Amino acid sequence: MTASEYTVEKAKYSDISSVMEINLRTLPENYPRYFFEHLLDRYPETFLVARMNNQVVGYIMCRIEDAIIFSIPLRKVKRGHVVSFAVLPGYRNMGIGTALLIKALDAMKNIYNCYDAFLEVRVTNHAAISLYKKHGFDIATIKKRYYKDGEDAYVMVKRL
Ligand SMILES: CC(C)(COP(=O)(O)OP(=O)(O)OC[C@H]1O[C@@H](n2cnc3c(N)ncnc32)[C@H](O)[C@@H]1OP(=O)(O)O)[C@@H](O)C(=O)NCCC(=O)NCCS
């Protein structure tokens, strides 16, 4: 299959089961259905799926959060938080993850008016860290023992 055969579009409610299945297969951080539904309800522009041959093969879902920048004067801003992001193993390294990420970042900036984007990533997740760096994310800080199994997370941030 070639990269041109996939599409990236806003998720529908009927995609949630497939998204949950991909999440279970690819990441140890899993969530109840109501969490996926909540993010789709509240932030539909940044809940995206990649489809190939009518099958969901990847997704990205985000939350838009309020924050205060401690500058003078103080600024209230919105931040786009990439909550979960994955592509099925057989479909990786074809550009699908990049396409999902770019479209979600674009919606954060141009639809939700976010100041920046951030995410947590396992410090050993070299593929994801490399992808994020390529798209302008920098490591801002480390959250010690952030994950249930005790692994640390990098917090990576990109100004939009
Ligand atoms: C991260 C993920 C979504 C990327 O999806 P993808 O469709 O493979 O992404 P793309 O094809 O657009 O880009 C692949 C990029 O990953 C990076 N990459 C892939 N394998 C890599 C490896 N072994 N070492 C370092 N970087 C690697 C490279 O930057 C590569 O870009 P390049 O081909 O231009 O060098 C996918 O690897 C995945 O689902 N991983 C498991 C879930 C996960 O870790 N999610 C992120 C949680 S924070």
Tell me how far apart the alpha carbons of residues 153 and 82 are, in angstroms, rounded to a whole number.
Answer: 14
pLDDT digits (tens, 9 = 90+) for 74-90: 889 999 999 999 999 99
Structural domains in the chain, sorted by start: 3-159 (3.40.630.30)
CB of 87 within 6 A of ligand 1: the answer is yes
Which residue has 């997370």 as its token pair?
Answer: 153
pTM: 0.95
Ligand 1 atom nearest to 99, measured from its CA? 12
CB of 44 within 6 A of ligand 1: the answer is no
CB of 135 within 6 A of ligand 1: the answer is no
The confidence score (pLDDT) of residue 24 equals 98
Query: Ligand 1 pocket test: which of 4, 7, 93 has the largest number of ligand atoms within 8 Å of its C-beta?
Result: 93
pLDDT digits (tens, 9 = 90+) for 10-32: 999 999 999 999 999 999 999 99
- The bridge status of strand 75-87 relative to strand 55-69 is antiparallel
The confidence score (pLDDT) of residue 71 equals 84
Long-range contacts of 145-152 (CB under 8 A, 24+ apart): 146/120, 147/28, 147/29, 147/122, 148/28, 149/28, 151/122, 151/123, 151/124, 152/122, 152/123
Q: How confident is the model at residue 4 (pLDDT cuts 50, 70, 90)?
A: low
